[in-house]
Amino acid sequence: DTEVTQTPKHLVMGMTNKKSLKCEQHMGHRAMYWYKQKAKKPPELMFVYSYEKLSINESVPSRFSPECPNSSLLNLHLHALQPEDSALYLCASSQGTGGPTYEQYFGPGTRLTVT
């Protein structure tokens, strides 16, 4: 089973709202990722968690706050977003880090609109 699930599929939020994106994998993967993708662009890495610890933060604004409650779950907490943050947010997981670079398996994404 190579499935990564994400909820919700679509989210519309105002600039003063607080919301969370959720991601789950049951492949026993030890690395999880958040990407942001704007239309007609490649995915842009935001955060990486390796063995439940934050290993990469690609200088993402603090209005995005990641959380990894356990090895299967990854959340992205959103607060005071701007309209330019509207994008497809993709979660991914991979076997692990600290050695070869493994393929990442992606979820279907959350399409976020900030009004």
Please tell me whether residue 107 binds another protein under the rule CB under 8 A: yes
Query: What does the per-residue mask of binding to another protein show for 32-71, with x meaning CB under 8 A?
Result: --------xxxx-x--x-x----xx---------------
Query: What does the per-residue mask of binding to another protein show for 13-32, with x meaning CB under 8 A?
Result: ------------------x-
- Contact in structure between 12 and 23 (CB atoms under 8 Å): no
Give the nearer residue to another protein in terms of CB position, either 67 or 80. 67
Region class of 80: left (phi > 0), else alpha (psi between -120 and 50), else beta: left
- Contact in structure between 18 and 79 (CB atoms under 8 Å): yes
